[in-house]
């Protein structure tokens, strides 16, 4: 039976790379997006043209009604869901010192990057547990090295990703006995629309030795880890944190 994956924020960047990798591995893929219907459709068409099976579903994961509809459509499409990749996320609307951060900006980031992920995961797991079949299911959270790197001008983002770290541990502990593995991937500096506005800054930092592996990360660097987890290469693990960061997290002296 063909496995089915839901990738939030699959229309662009890392999420699009994950959709392509999972489709290449034979999964049917639901490409969720918020606004960019054209980009989502391009991902779907590229997968379907190469013999895969994908569909786009619009839903803003921070809206409860959209989440309910997304979960319903995800399970209805092929009658099952095996993999949830919580990838959708937003950068802070502006980089500002944490003492100046406005409450609305803080809440906006937490709502998408953390609260929505909690409630979407909860809704998906409830349905997964009611789904007949013995196959191993997987949830993968795309957090960030910002879960542990303090950027004082991106406080809400860092807090949201640190929260995702604990969410991963909580879900992993709760769901291990249910046959659902839960993982976290922490990308480093990755070339997508999200980092385009700060490209020159990171180009300079990488040239100055920030990364042990001196290059930008690509969406494929994250997607290949997702694909390996879903392929079952780590089945006696759960709660694992994978870094896709060129060694950025290593403390160096």
Q: Catalytic residue positions?
A: 157
CA-to-CA distance for 127 and 120, rounded, in angstroms? 11
Contact flag: residue 88 with ligand NAP (CB under 6 A)? yes
Q: Which of 11, 20, 121, 238 binds ligand NAP (CB under 6 A)?
A: 11
Residues in region 148-177 near ligand NAP by CB under 6 A: none
Which segment (101-109, 120-128, 130-138, 186-194) binds ligand NAP by CB under 6 A? 186-194
Count other C-beta atoms under 10 Å from residue 85's C-beta.
31
When binding is defined by CB under 6 A, the residue of 22, 30, 57, 87 that contacts ligand NAP is 87
Range in contact with ligand NAP (rule: CB under 6 A) among 12-20, 92-100, 127-135, 175-183: 12-20
Rounded to 10 deg, the angle between the 13-24 and 37-49 helix axes is 20
Distance CA 145, CA 161 (A): 8
How far, in Å, CA of 199 to CA of 62, rounded? 28
Is 15 one of the binding residues for ligand NAP (CB under 6 A)? yes
Lookup: tokens for 145: 């090295």
Strands (E) located in the chain: 4-7, 28-33, 53-58, 83-86, 137-142, 180-187, 241-244
Is residue 210 near ligand NAP by the rule CB under 6 A? no
Q: Which is nearer to ligand NAP, 110 or 176 (CB)?
A: 110
Query: At which residue do the structure tokens 């993968």 appear?
Result: 140
The correct pick among 125, 189, 230, 248 for binding ligand NAP (CB under 6 A) is 189
Q: Give the per-residue contact string, 44-73, with ligand NAP (x = CB under 6 A; - = no).
A: ----------------xxx-----------
List the one residue from 190, 223, 238, 248 that touches ligand NAP (CB under 6 A). Answer: 190
- In order, the DSSP letters of 32-50 are EESS-HHHHHHHHHHHHHT
State yes or no: residue 9 binds ligand NAP (CB under 6 A): yes
Are 141 and 152 a contacting pair, CB within 8 Å? no
Query: 127 or 249, CB closer to ligand NAP?
Result: 249
Q: Identify the residue among 55, 170, 194, 206 touching ligand NAP (CB under 6 A).
A: 194
Yes or no: say if 130 and 75 are a contact pair by the CB < 8 Å rule.
no
Contacts with ligand NAP, residue ranges (CB under 6 A): 8-9, 11-15, 32-36, 39, 60-62, 87-90, 112, 142, 144, 187, 189-190, 192-195
């Amino acid at each position: 039976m063909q496995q089915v994956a839901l990738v939030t924020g699959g229309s662009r960047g890392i999420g699009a790379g994950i959709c392509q990798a999972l489709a290449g591995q034979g999964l049917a893929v639901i490409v969720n997006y918020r606004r960019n219907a054209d980009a989502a459709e391009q991902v779907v068409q590229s997968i379907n043209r190469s013999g895969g099976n994908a569909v786009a579903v619009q839903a803003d994961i921070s809206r409860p009604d959209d989440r309910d509809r997304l979960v319903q459509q995800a399970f209805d499409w092929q009658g099952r869901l095996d993999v949830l990749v919580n990838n959708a996320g937003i950068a802070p609307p502006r980089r500002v010192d944490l003492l100046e951060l406005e409450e609305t900006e803080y809440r906006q980031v937490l709502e998408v990057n953390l609260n929505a992920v909690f409630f979407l995961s909860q809704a998906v797991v409830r349905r997964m547990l009611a789904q007949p079949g013995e196959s191993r299911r997987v949830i993968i959270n795309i957090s960030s090295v910002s879960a542990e790197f303090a950027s004082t001008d991106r406080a809400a983002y860092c807090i949201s990703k640190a929260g995702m770290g604990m969410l991963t541990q909580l879900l992993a502990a709760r769901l291990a006995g249910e046959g659902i593995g839960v993982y976290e991937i922490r990308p480093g500096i990755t070339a997508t629309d999200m980092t385009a506005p700060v490209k020159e800054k990171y180009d300079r930092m990488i040239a100055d030795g920030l990364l042990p592996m001196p290059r930008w990360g690509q969406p494929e660097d994250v997607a290949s880890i997702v694909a390996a987890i879903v392929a079952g290469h780590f089945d006696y693990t759960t709660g694992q944190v994978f870094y896709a960061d060129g060694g950025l997290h290593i403390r160096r002296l």
